[in-house]
Amino acid sequence: MSAEVSMIHPLGPKTVEDWLAEEQPVDGSRLELIWGYLHMTPPPGGPHQFASLELAIVLRDALRTAGRSDLCVLPAVGVRISTPFRIGVIPDIAVVTGGINHKTFAADVVALAVEIWSPGNTRAERDTKIAAYASARVPYLWVIELPEGKPARFWGYTLGESGYRQEVFATDGESVKAPGPVPVVVDTAQLR
- CA 127 from centre of chain: 12
139-172 pLDDT, tens digit per residue, is: 999 999 999 889 999 999 999 998 999 999 999 9
Q: Is the pLDDT of residue 8 over 70?
A: no
CA 40 to CA 157: how far, in whole Å?
Answer: 26
> CB neighbours of 63 closer than 8 A, spacing ≥ 6?
69, 71, 72, 73, 95, 181, 182
54-111 tens-digit pLDDT:
999 999 999 999 999 999 999 999 999 988 889 999 999 999 998 999 999 999 999 9
Question: Could you give the residue ranges of the DSSP H alpha helices within the chain?
Answer: 3-8, 16-21, 46-65, 123-135
Across 40-57, average pLDDT:
94
Between the CA atoms of 72, 140, 14 and 8, what dihedral angle is there, to the nearest 10 degrees? 180
Q: Is the pLDDT of residue 4 over 80?
A: no
Domain 44-191 grouped into CATH 3.30.365.10: no
Q: What's the chain's average pLDDT?
A: 92
Torsion angles phi and psi, residue 106, rounded to 5 = -70, 145
